[in-house]
Amino acid sequence: MEKFRSHNGFARSFKENKLTIGLQIPIENYSEMPKMDLEEQMRLAKKAEEMEFASLWVRDSPLRDPSFGDAGLIYDPWIFLGYLTAHTQRIALGTSSIVTTYRHPLHLAKSAASMDKMSQERFLFGVATGDRPIEFPAFKVNREERAALFRETIDVVKKVWREPFPKIQTIRVDMNYGDIIPKPTLSDIPVFGTGFSGQSIEWLARNTDGWLFYPQIPDRQRELIKQWRLTAGEFKPFIQPFGIVLSEDPNEVPLALSPSGFKTGYKFLIEYFYSLQEAGINHVPLALKFGYRPVEEVIQEIGEFVVPHFKCTHEE
């Protein structure tokens, strides 16, 4: 998108017809509950930056639900991102994704604008409606209203970033005076919807700056990307997370391909990522949680042998 050409996070991570690689946090091997040792996480984040990964992504997990399985990010995402900002310099920092249903849109606008300023325009703002059933009653939110609250959040944050002292009347906002500061340097921040979030593809194409979508079978994903491109009318990146268990054998190929991830050697991974790039996927945040090798070793290997094929756009 032309308006985000000078946005450091967007420019580093996205270019039309190109794919780049990021990492999901926690950067560690775990099944349900990560350790998230802060010193170790920061060391690995710096390692990812040195190896020229494009981005790091954190999740919003408001409540732990043991029946859900993965506990996700154990720290508050905004506080953790602030800490991460202070320990990195160039790598893009994203949310995948902040749950709009339980957070007031004015708070979200201020948090995101603060994050973008403090990181020197490295922030990528992924948003979602939430999917853990226990959270809706805990926050006293009607689950049936989540799609409307999602639309409200995007409308409000975009308006308060752009306008001084805006007047806003929505479901949760009655703002007749006052302003949200700081304003983003570009008067906007890249916002990415997650899945459909209860919206039509037309609404998402008009009101967001890119799409975070779940892995699915290749033909279905290709068709969805085609619809996205036609509907958006301009380049708006398509992001797909992916889980990888990296084999010690660089020549190992997966016995069965899963859209959401598999075990393989790095040589097949290069081939597979080229197929994703050809399908129109612009960015892949990798989850390493199911691996068994030391994570630093995996980052080194992917950074040394895979990332150079899918360089950050600022390097080209």
Parent domain of 194: 2-315
Q: At what angle do helices 38-50 and 77-87 cross, to 10 degrees?
A: 50
What is the reported pTM?
Answer: 0.96
pLDDT at 313: 72
Neighbouring C-beta atoms of residue 65, cutoff 10 Å:
16
The CATH number of residue 72's host domain is 3.20.20.30
With beta carbons less than 8 A apart as the criterion, state whether 109 and 160 touch. Answer: yes
CA distance 113 to 214: 26
- What parts of the chain have a pLDDT lower than 70? 314-316
CA distance 229 to 117: 30
* Residue (of 96, 87, 109) closest to 58 by Cα position: 96
Interstrand relation of 168-169 and 174-175 (parallel, antiparallel or unpaired):
antiparallel
Rounded to 10 degrees, what is the CA torsion of 315, 7, 87, 304? -20
pLDDT at 255: 86
Domain count, the chain: 1
* pLDDT tens digits along 223-249: 999 999 999 999 999 999 999 999 999
pLDDT at 314: 64
According to DSSP H, which parts of the chain are helical?
8-13, 38-50, 77-87, 105-118, 135-138, 146-162, 201-207, 218-232, 266-279, 295-305
Annotate 2-28 with b (16+ C-beta within 10 A) or e (fewer).
eebeebbbbbbbbbeebbbbbbbbbbb
Within the chain, how many helices (H) and strands (E) appear? 10, 12
pLDDT at 131: 84
* pLDDT tens digits along 158-207: 999 999 999 999 999 999 999 999 999 999 999 999 999 999 999 999 99
Q: How far is CA 227 from CA 15, 19, 20, 122, 197, in A?
A: 18, 19, 21, 28, 17
